[in-house]
Structure 1
């Protein structure tokens, strides 16, 4: 495997291409790429040098955020824009972007490599996530784009497995299908479980199986996270629902709890001040909304409800398009959040 410095050098040699891919909300001006911050928020306070030497202060690929004083290289851009935690995932994503061969995945966790992890356990979830790869260029990306989702900010919690086991029932033989693998984590970023969506090999739809979505591990209170919350978060049920909302709120941290029952029980970060409840338009969604409002009031957290026009926000995105979705969401935000998180001014 290439040393980290060599990966950074290769990325710097394609600095503008890297920026167009991972900092898509920015634009080129002269020898710089301007964007709001390293997480791909719209704006102009961060600048990436597109031309320069291989090292020292003026090197290509180096960036500085004038608003925060932060600085780094393009590996930092990949880490922050994709929401990756483990640096091994950053390296894997960089290698995938550069079309370099991927190393054989290592199994992780406390169980010996020769010992099967209990089915459905957190350990089994950790091993499956470690054996999966970033979604860029995979059937997962095709599937999400087919559902109108084109913004992949902070999606390091999603991975692709080309041959994920699927067993219709305990008596049936196992099948293998491509799958979207979503990491369920606690508030400290520890993986507690996984959600699997089995896909047709083309990526145009889910696999033709009876239950194409299944979860494993410890889910209660936890979620699939897109960005890390501080004082504000949006929480909803489904992954595609939350990713659809992120298309018009690219800077807001979000969490998908995977069901109405789990959404009602999601744990609140200690720093949370305002919670956006991403409601599904059905009785279960109404129940989750009411329970979350009750829990948030006890905790002293402000709540605002984001409601779709149709069944959920992915329905809205696919049936109405991005601009009507943006207009509907804009009218439901706290005024101070429209400028902070939304791409409404562009």
Structure 2
């Protein structure tokens, strides 16, 4: 689907990014690294951030690695680094392998996929303001909500950080409203438990898909709110937590299993570098979760120990099967390529 942005849309979106509620504030003295590709909303936003602030924009070129990022931070005095978790891990590994001066780096924003606690903690311990845990979509040009607890709730820095790490979502950013609704269009309870579809309305929401009237008709509710197709919950403090993409919810034996919950748990294990959970057809249960796991430093955890680790938190019926791989297939923007993986492993369970 094509997502068209008007000049007005882009200008308003850039203004909201200047706020400390998201990636900002930015100043003319700052230097930003354009690491994600421009065809990804994250990369597009970084370019807009630099232009509207009059800041220096550094382009790293094609096929960068962690050492590329580290050298540019050192040589160009970069103050802000926005990346997906894979890029963040590449930079962390490079800094572990070689001593670079990253003292200029003030902020690191990690988005587009799950951010591990190890990654966030490592950079925070080195004085970098790590920002992650937001929720967004291409139809609004990236983040719609952000867990900016320190600025909105007066929490201490440590409290704000812990709350951010526990929440996938947050409060709506400037110029946007968010709701979580049931199938009948009414709002879910603000109890952090009842799940529904996240919908949005505001200044930077597209009006249609490009030359696609069929999908455009399904894009909005009857009262004009943008449908995300994402599942979330609402909390008593009006924050919204992203639970899972609707297509990433796995229905097994009549019970729903959110892939993100399993991925969060798996990547919290110190021997797991990356984890991707998909639902695959199963002859008895309809679907079962299958976890592809890349080990940390080339080492793989023992399967039984990893299963026991998960059972400390989740019931047995939620525990996936494990496949240990050297590398998990990625899309062109560095995300787990779940479409390809579902196709590759659709026959994992042979029909009985």
TM-based fold match above 0.5: no
